[in-house]
Structure 1
Amino acid sequence: MHRVRSIRLAAAAAVAALVVLGGGPAVADKPVAVDWASAVQQLRKAAEGNPAATQAMERLIASKQLPTERKAALPAQPFQIPAQSDIGRGSGPGVYGSGVALGVDGFRFGFFGGPGTISPNQTGAKLEVIWYNVSNGRSATDLLIEHEDIPVDTTIRTKMLDTGPGMIVAAVYGSLWHRWSVPVSEEHPDGFQYQLATISIPSFGAVYN
């Protein structure tokens, strides 16, 4: 049986992991309003020339799931739109997990959720975030590759990023390996079952750095 965690529990664990990994969230002076229609189009423009990112943004726009809440999140909070994948939370296609902005030893993007835990071996998977800083025009696509094989580490993260301050819109897309404990057998010599999740609709959100 999969050890499936809810988005709510995973979010709490992700925030707890921030403390263990070295710091707390940054705090904005006041809530920042988001024009979601403009934000998604700006991120779509930033994705031009990157086929995988462009396709992810097209799927997001086609899903018609833009938030109604007009405030940006703060680091250590999940993105406003969770991702969907072919394995969902472990019982078939559906809601999968969420991107998260992390205010730890600098600014990073991360991802949490899905069935079981994040596998320490991500060979054959590729999880990416495309981001655009509305305040200064900076944009980039970065890999989420940093993860420690310890119980408190519930996220996989980018390297430390120099986005500059301001409001940043971002989408996480791609694929990610998960694993959960099973009895040791010839088929599972290390005592784990592995499954690759492929994101169908990216996790999308705006965060104030």
Structure 2
Amino acid sequence: MICQTKQKFKAAYTNNNWLDGSKGNSIKVGYIWLRGQMETVRWHHWVWNSLNIPKHSFISWLTILGKLRTRERLGMVGICSDTSCLLCTSGNDSCSHLFFQCEFSHQVCQGVMGWFHIHSNSRENLYVHWRKWGWKFKTKYQQQVAYASLAAVVYHIWRARNNALWNQIVLRPDLVIKQIQVDVCIRMKAKLSNRWSERDKTWAASLMV
């Protein structure tokens, strides 16, 4: 494996200089060169936001890629015949329906948006919600809290969906909202630092539950 990697990196050297000789070599530069050009996505700000709880980021990442193992996706490969939504039964169990066409997820999303004083009655998709939550807040830390909350919404809706699948119990939306608020508040307290302005600290204190 080491020899194979060495052979690959030989292509980047000319007369013992790295690439055109204008930059020194480093692990970071070498990794970027080896990886090659990759598409830049707009949603990385909220999916990989540093304030997110890691498991929330992972589920959000799978969601945005459409890779969650929903009934609709499993049905496409012949594993599942019933593709109905487990939370509202009025649509298909798919990423596009769960976030946020489903009545259950819509209520959860509206509840968390109300917590942030964001008002919207329409059933907008996840991409629109990400843009809207980012536009609402102007400071970096307030945006990070909002994005962490959106990731928590995605995670807990998926968790509620799995609970309905395996335990045949649909949780009440208000209980899910409460758990999202608790998760976000614990995360805020853990990440609170002197770099936060007094304005941001006051705003964060107003959200504490």
TM-score exceeds 0.5: no
Q: Which has the higher helix share?
A: 2
Q: With CA pairs under 8 Å and 6+ residues apart, which has the higher RCO, 1 or 2? A: 1
TM-score (norm 1): 0.30
**When you count strand as a share of all residues, which structure comes out higher?**
1
**Which has the higher Rg, Structure 1 or Structure 2?**
2
TM norm structure 2: 0.30
